[in-house]
């Protein structure tokens, strides 16, 4: 069975991972630990944006600053992959860590990844947002539940 475990570095995701390991994991399962690394936040002016009036107070960024932002982003993503790889040492074999930078929401990226690997099961954590906050902010686990055709386990701490 192919299992996609969605991780975002939160306490809730860690608890979902631990719960899966303690309660469901079988040696023959193929594990994919997936995390989305958000793209760096670059001001529009750095990309030739709308700074039409010099000195108008809009932020600007130098090439060196942009280069540093990109290096920091790569470092952040590499550290995330390293941490998830370390966490996966509990599995004795079939574990793959996938850390990717994509545009789009976390929910849609998890759904895409599940389809790409033909996942049989998705495991994710839940922050436990109330009804109103979930309606306003959205919910990754809710999105995943409604957009895949495989079982989803949402672990709520």
Tens of each residue's pLDDT in the chain, 157 residues: 999 999 988 888 899 999 999 999 998 999 999 998 877 776 665 555 544 555 555 556 778 888 888 888 889 889 889 989 888 888 766 789 999 887 778 889 999 999 999 999 999 988 655 555 444 445 788 889 889 999 999 988 7
154 contacts: CB under 8 Å, gap ≥ 6: 16, 124, 125, 126, 141, 145
Asked if residue 141 belongs to a domain, the reply is: yes
Asked if residue 55 belongs to a domain, the reply is: no
Check residue 54 and give its pLDDT.
54
Asked if residue 46 belongs to a domain, the reply is: no
Please answer whether residues 40 and 69 qualify as being in contact, where contact means their C-beta atoms are separated by less than 8 angstroms.
yes
Q: Which domain holds residue 91?
A: 2-40+63-156
Asked if residue 21 belongs to a domain, the reply is: yes
Check residue 147 and give its pLDDT.
93
CA–CA dist 77, 82 (Å, integer): 9
User: Domain containing 114 — which CATH number?
Assistant: 3.40.50.620
Asked if residue 58 belongs to a domain, the reply is: no
Q: How many domains does the chain have?
A: 1
Asked if residue 47 belongs to a domain, the reply is: no
Cα–Cα distance list, 98 to 10, 14, 49, 83 (Å):
16, 16, 32, 12
Please answer whether residues 80 and 9 qualify as being in contact, where contact means their C-beta atoms are separated by less than 8 angstroms.
yes
């Amino acid at each position: 069975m192919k299992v996609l475990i969605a991780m975002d570095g939160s306490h809730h995701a860690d608890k979902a991972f631990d719960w899966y390991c303690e309660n469901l994991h079988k040696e023959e399962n193929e594990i994919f630990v997936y995390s989305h690394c958000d793209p760096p936040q670059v001001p529009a002016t750095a990309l030739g944006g709308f700074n039409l009036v010099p000195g108008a107070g809009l932020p600007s960024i130098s090439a060196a600053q942009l280069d540093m932002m990109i290096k920091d982003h790569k470092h952040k993503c590499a550290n995330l992959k390293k941490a998830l790889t370390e966490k996966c040492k509990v599995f004795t074999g079939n574990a793959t860590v996938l850390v990717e930078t994509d545009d789009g929401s976390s929910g849609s990226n998890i759904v895409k990844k599940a389809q790409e690997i033909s996942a049989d099961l998705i495991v994710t954590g839940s922050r436990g947002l109330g009804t109103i906050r979930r309606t306003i902010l959205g919910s990754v686990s809710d999105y995943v539940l409604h957009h895949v055709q495989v079982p989803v386990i949402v672990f709520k701490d």
